[in-house]
Structure 1
Amino acid sequence: MFTLRRKTAGEATFDAFNVIVMLLICFITIYPIWYVLVNAFNDGQDAMRGGIYWWPRVASLDSFQAVFQNPGIIKAMGITVAKTIIGTALHVFFTAMVAYAFSRRELVGRKVYMLIGTITLFFAGGLIPSYLLTRDLHLLDNFLVYIIPAMFNFFDLIIFLAFFREIPAGLEEAAKIDGANDFSIFVRVVIPVSMPVIATIALFHGVYQWNDYFVGMIYINDMNLQPIQTFLFRVIAQSSSNIMMASMPGGISKTVSSQSVKLATMVVTTAPIVIVYPFLQKYFVKGMMIGSIKG
């Protein structure tokens, strides 16, 4: 039988110190989010007086009503949802297909391709060459600028590759005996048994697509094609919330401020991914562990 050993004074002090430090880190992490929520749900004009730190002083949903009455936000949210769904689906399929080809030892020049891909992990062409290439491909002010350049990522290929190498060779051999070609094997055999890694990469890229504002800021001038994150960036950086308020009904504009509209826009922008992420976080850990441990 095991007997419980009482902690020494030094061990108890060390544990208490760790708890205090972790609570402090949690507070520093969570409080800014709480502060934004509290002020977003407070009356905008009242919030301008300051002094709101823990809970709304005058609760109001007018700022959120003002946000959803702006047609620009609705369009931006639609663009974000569309590019996240389409971009993630195409990225996962295309990257998985390339990774499956890389997993084949009979692929001619496989080592050269791996070397070239590895170099891209550490060096990039830069913004100006990327912009010129995007312009020459006629992707400026084009929805496809969110999709085509992001269809492939070499880091995700490495994760796929590590998983594909662990698939039993007997599955592919049995499919070949039945007359399946390489593409049929990939679609009918490899993809169904690779759902864990597919879910991982889909989560990786889905979060990237949802949070990305840079592509819309650099390559998109058409306001009808900007995603919600770019819209939020312009609201904060250019104080365009004043323009938003100018188009609001008088009853609402009297109870909100440019700051309250900014905070409400932040909440609307980040809420979907913040709600979904905790339920899918395990896939991030699993994705980083794929291929690292041999069972």
Structure 2
Amino acid sequence: MRLSFSERWMVNGIYLLVGFMSFIMLYPFWNSGVISFNSGTDTSMGGVTFWPRQFTLDNYAIVFDDKRLITSFIVSVVRTIIGTITAIFFTAVFAYGMSKKELMGKNIYMVICLITMYFAGGLIPSYMLIQSLGLMDSFWVMIIPNLISVWNMIVFRTFFLELPDGLEESAKIDGCGYWGTFLRIVIPVSTPVIATLSLFAAVWHWNEWFTPILYITNEDLLPIQTTLQRILNSNIMSEQLMQTNAAAQNAMSASQAVTTKSLTMATMMVATIPILLVYPFVQKYFAKGVMIGSVKG
């Protein structure tokens, strides 16, 4: 279709705007990667933008030199897989029950759920609850308290309410109960919402580091985010101690190509890239999933 002069200007303007916004969003991540591969002492001089000026792998060597990193990476992978699967399953079951019109007192249950979404019990009561449940210093402390997400439940419930009534009615005619209908009919047609919320849950489990700090003392159970945070803090402390001695500071500056900033960027890359690789596999479901509940008809 041939476009008029004003329409071409409009289309070109949209492309320029989208390109500019994409650059603004992608450049900080690209620059962080560049700094992670650049000499720290050279980075401190400024001017490192699109390409490393003094290429080095020293930043990553320090990060991967810690023997705990491999164990922490495995813990994070297992936690993300188990945490995502269990959270999606239990939240979907809860939402399916809340979507039933015949459920007595469902409005009261929804109000209770909304209260828990806006108001938390607090750090001390939460700590006492985890301790009384025997989850201290356990892998399951990162899984069980996060089995239900009220926000995800609401999204699931909205999706289930939009499903045609004929699906469940035909399943009941064939002899399916609630569990049979849920597992054989509802779950297979809920792929978009499951993929979208699984992505959100996986990203949260991968990035969350505060819970292990509170409840886990066994270093073999720490996820990669918490371990990288400890590595970074230990290097920051070492640098601060070196700065108290002028001679040691000069020796450090002359002999090391690693600074706190370059090490920070390297740890950020190590913690971010694995979860980014998940996005291409769920991209085709993401656009459809985020539109759930936006159109009524």
Scaled by the length of structure 2, what TM-score is found? 0.81
> Is 1:199 matched with 2:192?
no
Aligned residue number for residue 96 of structure 1: 92
Once residues 22 and 222 of structure 2 are traced to their aligned partners in structure 1, the CA distance between those partners, rounded to angstroms, is 34
Aligned residue number for residue 102 of structure 2: 106
> Is 1:288 matched with 2:290?
yes
Once residues 135 and 64 of structure 2 are traced to their aligned partners in structure 1, the CA distance between those partners, rounded to angstroms, is 29
Structure 1 residue 152: deviation in Å? Answer: 0.4
Equivalent pair of 2:192/2:286 in contact (CA under 8 Å): no
Deviates more, 1:24-33 or 1:13-22: 13-22
Closer, same or farther in 2 for the Cα pair 1:6/1:174, shift >3 Å?
A: closer
Aligned residue number for residue 277 of structure 1: 279
Aligned residues: 282
Structure 1 residue 17: deviation in Å? Answer: 8.8
Identical columns (%): 46
Which AA in structure 1 matches 2:173? I
Closer, same or farther in 2 for the Cα pair 1:13/1:287, shift >3 Å?
A: closer
Once residues 93 and 104 of structure 2 are traced to their aligned partners in structure 1, the CA distance between those partners, rounded to angstroms, is 16
Once residues 261 and 195 of structure 1 are traced to their aligned partners in structure 2, the CA distance between those partners, rounded to angstroms, is 40
Once residues 54 and 65 of structure 1 are traced to their aligned partners in structure 2, the CA distance between those partners, rounded to angstroms, is 22
Task: Please tell me the root mean square deviation across aligned C-alpha atoms, in Å.
Answer: 3.1
Equivalent pair of 1:203/1:283 in contact (CA under 8 Å): no
Structure 1 residue 261: deviation in Å? Answer: 3.7
Once residues 36 and 110 of structure 2 are traced to their aligned partners in structure 1, the CA distance between those partners, rounded to angstroms, is 49
Which AA in structure 2 matches 1:111? N
Equivalent pair of 1:235/1:262 in contact (CA under 8 Å): no
Match of 2:208 among 205, 212, 217: 212
Structure 1 residue 275: deviation in Å? Answer: 3.4
Mark the runs of 5 or more structure 2 residues left unpaired by the alignment: 240-254
Structure 1 residue 271: deviation in Å? Answer: 0.8
Structure 1 residue 49: deviation in Å? Answer: 5.6
Deviates more, 1:219-228 or 1:87-96: 219-228
Trace 1:3-18 onto structure 2 (pairs within 5 A).
Answer: 5-7=4-6
Mark the runs of 5 or more structure 1 residues left unpaired by the alignment: 244-252
Closer, same or farther in 2 for the Cα pair 1:227/1:158, shift >3 Å?
A: same
Which AA in structure 1 matches 2:268? M
Structure 1 residue 105: deviation in Å? Answer: 1.5
Closer, same or farther in 2 for the Cα pair 1:182/1:5, shift >3 Å?
A: closer
Equivalent pair of 1:241/1:258 in contact (CA under 8 Å): no
Equivalent pair of 2:63/2:231 in contact (CA under 8 Å): no
Trace 1:4-153 onto structure 2 (pairs within 5 A).
Answer: 5-7=4-6, 25-44=21-40, 47=43, 51-153=47-149
